[in-house]
Each structure stands twice: as structure tokens, then as C-alpha cells.
Structure 1
């Protein structure tokens, strides 16, 4: 079955360039091996501590996770909550409302991935 895309207006070179630029910006912020995995786990788990987050993302090192969390926090996808009143100090990470705006994108990617996997299996 072939998917047909119906365009409302012809795409100009300028519009194409704008679309490419926007996609590049999005990929820069959420691209890479780990960022989307971190965002998905945080959205599914709610408040989660660093070690639990690391256990949920198989193969990520503590150093890489720490760097990715800093990056995601800088871009407004993750909030770091420090409970200094507890001993020892407890640090939790939560996804922000802004992070949850990615939910439709993540769901679309998930569905596309499932469809693609089926297609590849059928082709072989």
C-alpha cells in the first residue's frame, strides 16, 4: 500500500529551506542516541532518581546520562528537583510540560517504527 501526501500548496525553495532548517533545529535538540530515550522514560515514570533512570536506559553510562540530563535541562525538557531537607540529599528528575509537547511526535515516530519494521520483515 502506497501512502499519498496531498499538499495544499506547492512547496517553494524558500519553504523547503525553512522546513529543513526547522527539522535541523529539532534534531539538534532531541537527536542523538540517548535524548529521546531519556525523555520517554521520564514521561512514563514521573519523578525518577538518577540511578533508577540509568537502570531504565540500558547501556548508558553515568557520565553520558549526566551530560544528557544537563543538556535536556538547558533546553527546558527536564527539571532537576533537589530535596535538600532530606539526608542524604535526594535529587529527582521530571519531564516538563514543554517536554510533553513532544508526545505526539514520539507517538508518530513509534508508529512509523512499527510499520517500518513490519515492512522490512515482509520484504525479506
Structure 2
């Protein structure tokens, strides 16, 4: 058993290349090979969001606070809120983030394939975000 004390893992700003707006990330799980699980607490300020991206082995989000938006390529923007669980299939192009006037936090869970958890693409435009 390993206990990771609260506050012992640093929260960091998310990379601007992959996000729009202020986003903070706190690692939860970073398992060593052969395990592949990775999990992060991601906190989005209102209007903040990821860029379009995919995950080689898919991704699951658990919304832990607030309300936000998610979208898969070619589908309409959908509203999500605390308690919702969102599952993206391997290779499914998508984005996720806070609502325009509400913050949102989620736990993002994905597996690494050859060390890669995400393939980052173009940023989400204001028009795409607004739906």
C-alpha cells in the first residue's frame, strides 16, 4: 500500500498549447509500466477548455464539481454537470471544458499506450465552443 499525502503532489497550470483559458492540473495516478493507468484532477475556470484531442485507449471523465461542456467531432456540444461520467472511445476526437459562466472540475482517466495518453490537435474555436 502507498498513501500519497494531500498536498504532496504539486498542482500546475495546464500547457497553453493544449488549452484555452486558465486550467490547473493535479496528478492523481501515474503508474509505471506494465500498468498504464493515468488520472488527473483538472480544474477549468469559466470558458476554459481543452484543444481537440484523441486518446489511443480512450478516456473516462468524472465531473466532480460545476458544469461544463463536451463535444465529439461531428456531434453537437453537450452540457455536463457534477456526477456525470463521460466515456470517449479510443481515437474519438473530442474536447471538454467549463461552461461560459461556470467553473468545472473533473477527474480524467486514461491509459498510456507506449507512454502516450493523448494526441493533441487544433484548438477549439469560439464558434465551436458556443455550439
TM (normalized to structure 1)?
0.23
Larger Rg over CA atoms: 1
Q: Structure 1 or 2: larger helix share?
A: 1
- The structure with higher relative contact order (CA 8 Å, sep 6+) is 2
Q: Structure 1 or 2: larger strand share?
A: 2
